[in-house]
Amino acid sequence: MSHVDDRFSPMLLPPTVGGLAGGSPPAPPGSIFVLAAGGGFAAPPRQRFELLFGRKEPDVHVCIGSDDPRISRTHGRIVCTGTEWWLRNEGQLPIRLPQSTFLLSGEEMPLAQGYSPLFIRTSKERVHLLEVRVVGSGPKDTVVGPDDKTRAPDAWEVTETERLVLTALALRYLRQETHPQPQSWKFVAKDLNNVPGQDGWTEKRAANAVLRVRERLVPYVSGLTLKEVGDPAGNLLNHNLIQELLQTATLQPPDLWLLGDTE
């Protein structure tokens, strides 16, 4: 983000920007787009630039929950350090990020490049969405038209053996069960040994195969190390791994056929 295109300045988003999940209008890498139901704002990666969001319009750049007193007047700010954007929660309620990560009041964290939907739940019936996109340098950050060719998902490369083990680990997710958890290594090994042509699987062998995949993804995906999630981690590391594999379509329900699972 060291070089800023002077032709792109902080600005309100036009009403034609209906969402950021599919991309953003043209902007230099490192720029940020923030959008709520009432409008949005965009800014280049200028050091110390602060983008505020909350319910007190016009004191914030992006108004969210203007009629909801549980949303703070300034619920948060997104600050550019010159190399990345940091999100700080200044409201009373937590902000839920992707992968069910919660940013509590007074805490801050860097935003990853790409799309991040942020949620603020104020009651059992009401949840506010704040869309954020930090522009990267790849084609997935640009808006596409309805007639453009569909792009393949950005799936991670895994070997056939790794896919088999990961499918066993993520069995309950791929079956789309309610509140799924990774299978225990005992059941992973059992399911693998029941596959024709597969034998000799132990809990340790299966765990090591998954560990190799997780280690490859660590530089690119958050929440895959004990340092990030804390100890004891329980199933959290594998849960985060599975979530990433599902979101990138690396694992899909048809993979269940590898295990002979037709449920």
pLDDT averaged over consecutive 10-residue blocks of the chain (263 residues)? 65 86 87 92 94 94 95 97 94 86 91 90 90 78 56 79 96 89 96 93 97 94 89 89 90 89 52
Amino acid identity at 102: F
Query: How confident is the model at residue 152, as a pLDDT?
Result: 54
DSSP character string of 232-259: S-TTHHHHHHHHHHHHTTSS-GGGGGGG
Question: Residue 128's closest CA among 138, 136, 117?
Answer: 117
Question: Which residues have a Cβ under 8 Å from the Cβ of 156 and sit 6 or more positions away?
Answer: 213, 216, 217, 244, 245, 248, 250
Question: Which residues have a Cβ under 8 Å from the Cβ of 216 and sit 6 or more positions away?
Answer: 156
Query: How confident is the model at residue 187, as a pLDDT?
Result: 96
Query: How confident is the model at residue 225, as a pLDDT?
Result: 92
pTM over 0.75: no
